[in-house]
Each structure stands twice: as structure tokens, then as C-alpha cells.
Amino acid sequence: MRILLINPNTSRAMTAKIADAARGVAGPDVVVDAVCPAVGASAIESHVDEVAAAAAVVELVAADRDGPAPADAYVIACFGDPGLDAARELVDAPVVGIAEAAMHLAAVSGRHFGVVTTLSRTLGRARDLVGRYGMDRACVSLAATGIPVLDLEDTGSAAVATIERFAAGAASGGADVIVLGCAGMADLCAELTARVGVPVVDGVAAAVGMASGMVRMGLGTSKRDEYARPPRAFVSGGATPPPPSADVEVFA
């Protein structure tokens, strides 16, 4: 089977890193491809970035679906799970977000988990997802390390040490399991597990595991009503806003 990883930011280095992490944990019957948009946000660190990321996910999933060999499953490799509902409308195959997958597996690994993520301004989105996935009881902490996403492109010891510190704090505060709150942390998972002493979950690996399990058992996205094919193709105004005279009519 073929799984397509979608990194909705424009960092090719991070996309390659995520693909490596996914391949390391995929079963022998799984091929992992990875894509990222050519134009878009360089990192997903705000709600405005999330909107750009959602647009990129929609465009990349639709392009793959309409290509010669559509994937058997799609993984959205950004912790905000941008465009998840929209992508589910586009395909019959399973679509799995990495926040979603990480939380579901963390809840099986232990009673309570803590999320360790990048910038504090993204915590609101993370908390929304905790609620959406029914993890209000399971998730006992959300912590921001202050590390910008792109500092994770080339992970140096500083980032690992900082993440370890927050992860250890979460564990001593009641988290049985740590969830890494950024796809860019995927390569740090094994080292952090060893250092912190409790299981550490990378969402990319979790999503690949869930998605491949779903493909093997023939479980895709329900096309009943909400996730049925959408009534029209995605069209958006584009990167350069057109001049107001043409684009925006003011009804004053």
C-alpha cells in the first residue's frame, strides 16, 4: 500500500525528515511518499498559517487523488491537523491527522498524556483538538517550549534538551505519556523516550500506524453526508490579492 504524507509548510528539509521518520516505522508492505506545497507558509505557527496550511492540504490531496496512482491513505503531517475535514470530503481513503493519531495512541499507552509543542500561541489550537478528539480527561498538560518550528529543521542539542526538560516536567506533573506537538520533532522521539523514561509519541509514526491498519482492514472514510464529495472544487483568491476594484466590491 502507498501512504501519502502531506507536510503543509514549504520546508523541503522538514518534509524529507518527516518522510524518513515515517518509513522507519512503516510495515514491510507500506510505501511512504511525502509532499509539500511550493507556495505557502514556511511554518505553521498561527491561525493565519493554519488557513494557508488547510488550503495546501486541500490542493495536495486533490492533486494526488486525480493523479495516476492515488494513495491508499493520507496523513496530514502538521500538529494542527489543518484541512482534515476538507480532505476527508475529497477521498474515500482514510485521512489521518498527526495530532489525532498521537492522542489516540497515547490514550492507549497510558492513562494521561501531556503535549509538548512549539510556540505558546499555538496552544489554543491544540486545546481545541484535545476537545474535538475527546481527550479532555486524558490530556493533563499542554506545554509550549518556545522553539520556533523552523529551528527544528536541523535539530541541534539545544532543542532536544529543551524539549526533554518540558517533557520531564509533564511526566512529573502526572503525564504517563508525552505527545510531541510538531511534525518537526519526529526524529527526536526515540532519544526523548530514552531520556525521559516514559513513552514519547510522535504523531507521524502514530498516523502511519493507524492509517496502514485501516487500509489492511478495508476501513476508509465514511462518505455518508458530511464527508460526501463536496459540491464544488476548491477555488481561492490566490497568493497575490487582486486589486480592490476587481476583487472586492464595497456595498457602502
b vs e for 180-218, b when ≥16 Cβ sit within 10 Å of the residue's Cβ?
Answer: bbbbbbbbbbeebbebbebbbbbbbbbbbbbbbebbeee
Q: Which of residues 15-74 bind its own copies (CB under 8 A)?
A: 15-16, 19, 25-29, 31, 33-43, 45-52, 54-56, 58-60, 62-63, 67
Shortest Cβ 118–its own copies spacing (Å): 11
According to CB under 8 A, which residues from 141 to 180 bind its own copies?
171, 176-177
* Choice between 78 and 88, CB closer to its own copies: 88
Of the candidates 169, 79, 168, the one whose C-alpha atom is nearest the C-alpha of residue 119 is 79
Least separation in angstroms between residue 103's CB and its own copies is: 9
If the CB atoms of residues 157 and 240 are measured against its own copies, the closer one turns out to be: 240
Q: How many residues bind its own copies (CB under 8 A)?
A: 122
Report the DSSP beta bridge partners of residue 75.
Answer: 5, 96
Give the one residue of 3, 77, 86, 99 binding its own copies; rule: CB under 8 A.
Answer: 86
Cell of 173: 506533573
Shortest Å distance, C-beta 233 to its own copies? 8
Q: How far is the CB of 249 from its own copies (least distance, A)?
A: 6
Site mask, its own copies, residues 92-131, x = CB under 8 A?
--x-x---xx--xx-xxxxx--------xx-xxx--x--x
CB of 98 closer than 8 Å to CB of 18: no
Opening angle at CA 61, ends 55 and 67, nearest 5: 135
Q: Does 9 bind its own copies (CB under 8 A)?
A: no
Ranges within 205-234 binding its own copies (CB under 8 A): 205-206, 208-210, 212-214, 216-228, 230-234
CB of 162 to its own copies, least distance (A): 19
Q: 126-139 burial, b if ≥16 CB within 10 A, otherwise e?
A: beebbeebebeebb
Which residue among 74, 79, 133, 166 contacts its own copies (CB under 8 A)? 133
Cross-strand pairs, 73: 3
Cell readout for 117 is 509543542
Cβ-based neighbour number of residue 35 at 10 Å: 19
- N-terminal to C-terminal alpha carbon distance within the chain: 55
